[in-house]
Structure 1
Amino acid sequence: MSTFDWGPGTVTAVSVVCGALCGFGVVAIGYGAVRRAVREEQSGVAGRLAARVPADWTARRCVGAVIVGVSVAALTGWPVAAVLAVVGVLTLPGLLGPDRAAAGRTERMEALAAWTEMLRDTLSAAAGLEQAVLATADIAPAALESELRELAGAVRSGRSLPSALRGFAAEVDDPLADVVVAALVMAAEQQGGQLAPLLGELAESVREQVAMRQRIDAGRASVRTGVRVTVVVTLGMAVGMVVFNRPFLDPFNTTVGQAVLAVVGGLFAASFTYLSVIGRIEEPIRLFDPAVAGSDSVPGGMP
């Protein structure tokens, strides 16, 4: 079995090469993450692939991943370990940390239910739909404050209410908001007379969705805790052996050892990806297409 000749010069050279390769790759990823808003407007395969880069891969995290990868390469002399360290720094915080995206979505759903109830109560006081939208936008729930202010501003600037509501749906970017906005658009265009009771039922439905998501999040919390414990124990054991019992890891200095390390790292990555996939909630189909928000069409392509 062949082994690497790990002299001081070799370790330094390998560390520099690994750091440069990881740096170029991660800097490219970081640049793409920063320019995500521009990329989403691009067409073609490259634009679609770039749009899939997670939004939480900020420039700061990418730089930190490069630093960690170079440090691991210098400490161990293992190119595969350096690559795994970079991948871990980029992906593990989102998997093991608090699910801020789900919490934010739940908060926005609660705000949507509150705003729908405010609209219902205002309409019950014999106010017109446009006046009700303007009145409730001034006392909007915090999670939807900016979107409702833009909605009110669009209406006050002379934009038609249906068009402004479609723009609001595009800004909120939520399937449940599409349902509420669809009811409002139909009422604004066809002068629906039973809108207040419908809004009450929609608000109740949204709150049921919020309660269901909260139950799901509570069930996922124990799974995420178990994954955190597994990752911390595994990483702690690996770091401890590298620092305190390095001869035990000498087999990884070989070509076969690096291949085995790559396989083990790949298995960990596959298991974490699977945990992320099974914990993802499938969203319903959007009623409004954000690409045509603000047009005079209604959901379903109706004129």
Structure 2
Amino acid sequence: MVVMVLTVPLAAVLGAATAFGLLLVTWGLLSHDDSGPVDSVMQSWWSRLAATRGPVDRRRVALCLAVGVVVGVVTRWPVAAGLAAAGAWMLPAIIGPDRDHARRVARIEAIATWTEALRDNLSGAAGLEQAITASAIESPEPIREEVTRLAVRLQRSWRLPDALRGFADELADPTADLVVAGLVMAARGSAGQLGDVLGELAASARAKVASRQRVAAARKRNRTSARVIVGATLAMAGMLALLNRGYLAPFDTPTGQLVLLAAGGCFALAFAWLGRLMRDRDASRVLAGAAAPDESRAVPT
């Protein structure tokens, strides 16, 4: 009887703490008002996090919270609600399809094709600017918009180095940075053997595509393993909840919730480590921090 009396308040406290934590996370993700008295340390931390993670998808946040609420209502376990919300946020990037891979590979292949076209145009063009303008006519689809803007800027009398840096900033790709660096050096008067350099850069880009394909194959095996683990775990939990609810009765207690939290923490650490292994590490740019295009850089005609 005493245990039951203690269990209810503790479960209520755990539920309230979980709900309060989810509210704080939601407020931090969705709030854009900096007028209130926000602690400087937390504000600095959140600024760095936002800078590295990019803009937050509100629909994704709402979906994760909805999953947490549904699991909490069905199981009446506050820890399960929090773990479900966290899993809905983390797992799609680990067990879901790698949609960004095809886009990254297509962009690198497009950069290689454009570099080869630029090399071929140099032999019949009056200069580098004319070769770039001519290459925009049949530039590959993944980078056509950026190449077209580069050609338009050159037609508007932009300085070639400034236009090229803006082009690199728009593509934000390490392979494109290497090509642009070679073109910038050529624009400054170091154009010796530029055609050979562009040919080597194009070959290097295609080699990188092949390397990415091999890495993607290895990551696919990891994703398959993660899907099997997650699927088996969820299937077992669902079967026990439907067919033998009494087997899960120990989790109704505060001690059971702590055990569930520890088990969920182990899974979270394992999946975080797996996500780190799957992360694309080829992100170091040669021209990182290149200034964005500015109309003031155009040369008056």
Using the size of structure 2 for normalisation, the TM-score is 0.84
Where in structure 2 are there 5+ consecutive unaligned residues? 33-42, 295-301
Label 1:88 to 1:19 Cα distance change in 2 as closer, same or farther (>3 A).
same
Q: Is 1:48 aligned with 2:48?
A: yes
Q: Is the 8 A contact 1:16 1:70 kept in 2?
A: no
- 1:76 CA drift (Å): 1.0
Give the AA of the match of 1:149.
Answer: T
Residues 175-254 of structure 1 aligned to structure 2 (within 5 Å): 175-190=174-189, 192-254=191-253
Task: Report the Cα distance in structure 1 between the residues aligned to 2:31 and 2:217, rounded to whole angstroms.
Answer: 35
What SS does the aligned partner of 1:179 have? helix
Conserved in 2, the CA contact under 8 Å of 1:27 and 1:63? Answer: no
Summarize the Cα distance change of 1:146–1:275 in structure 2 as closer, same or farther, 3 Å threshold: same
Please give the alpha-carbon distance, in whole angstroms, between the structure 2 residues aligned to 1:27 and 1:143.
Answer: 37
Map 1:261-280 onto structure 2 (within 5 A).
Answer: 261-280=260-279
1:255-275, Cα deviation, whole Å (9 max, x unpaired): 111111111111101111111
* Kept in 2: contact 1:111–1:143 (CA 8 A): yes
Select the structure with the greater relative contact order (CA < 8 A; seq sep ≥ 6). Answer: 2
1:238 Cα deviation after fit: 1.1
The 1:255/1:44 distance shift into structure 2, 3 A limit, reads closer
Deviations 1:169-210 (A, max 9, x none): 111111111110010011111151321121111100110011
Residue 19 of structure 1 deviates from its aligned partner by: 5.0
Aligned-partner Cα distance in 2 for 1:88–1:160: 50
Name whichever of 99-108 and 247-256 sits farther off: 99-108
- Structure 1-normalised TM-score? 0.84
- AA aligned to 2:263 is V
Deviation at 1:285, TM superposition (A): 3.4
Root mean square deviation of aligned Cα:
2.8
Please state how far the C-alpha of 1:233 moved relative to its aligned partner: 1.3
- CA distance in 1 between counterparts of 2:258 and 2:192 reads 70
Partner of 1:87: 86
C-alpha displacement at 1:24, in angstroms?
A: 4.8
Cα distance in 2, alignment partners of residues 178 and 233 from structure 1: 44
Confirm or deny: 8 A CA contact 1:78 1:258 kept in the other structure: yes
| Structure 1 pair 54–285 and aligned structure 2 pair: CA distance change class (3 A) | closer
Deviation at 1:54, TM superposition (A): 5.7
1:69-218 to structure 2, matched below 5 A, reads 69-190=68-189, 192-218=191-217
Moved more, 133-142 or 114-123: 133-142
Give the equivalent residue in structure 2 for 1:2.
3
When residues 54 and 246 of structure 1 are mapped into structure 2, their CA distance, relative to the original with a 3 A threshold, is farther
Q: Which amino acid aligns with 1:241?
A: L
The one-character-per-residue Cα deviations of 1:56-93 (angstroms, maximum 9, x if unpaired) are x5111111111111111111111100000110111111
CA distance in 2, matches of 1:259, 1:94: 27
Secondary structure, in 3 states, of the residue corresponding to 2:3?
A: coil
For 2:136 and 2:208, the matched residues in 1 are separated by 23
CA contact (8 A) 2:64 2:88 kept: yes
Aligned residues of 2:241 and 2:248 also touching (Cα < 8 A): yes
The one-letter code matched in structure 2 to 1:271 is: A
**Mapped partners of 2:105, 2:283: distance in 1:** 15
Which moves more between the two structures, 150-159 or 286-295? 286-295
Q: Which runs of 5+ in 1 are unaligned?
A: 33-42, 296-303
Runs in 1 of length 4+ with deviation above 3 angstroms? 1-7, 10-21, 43-46, 52-55, 291-295
Contact 1:169 1:178 (C-alpha < 8 Å) held by counterparts: yes
The answer (yes or no) to whether the contact 1:118–1:136 under 8 Å persists in 2 is yes
Q: Deviations over 1:16-46 (max 9, x none)?
A: 88556524523532557xxxxxxxxxx9443
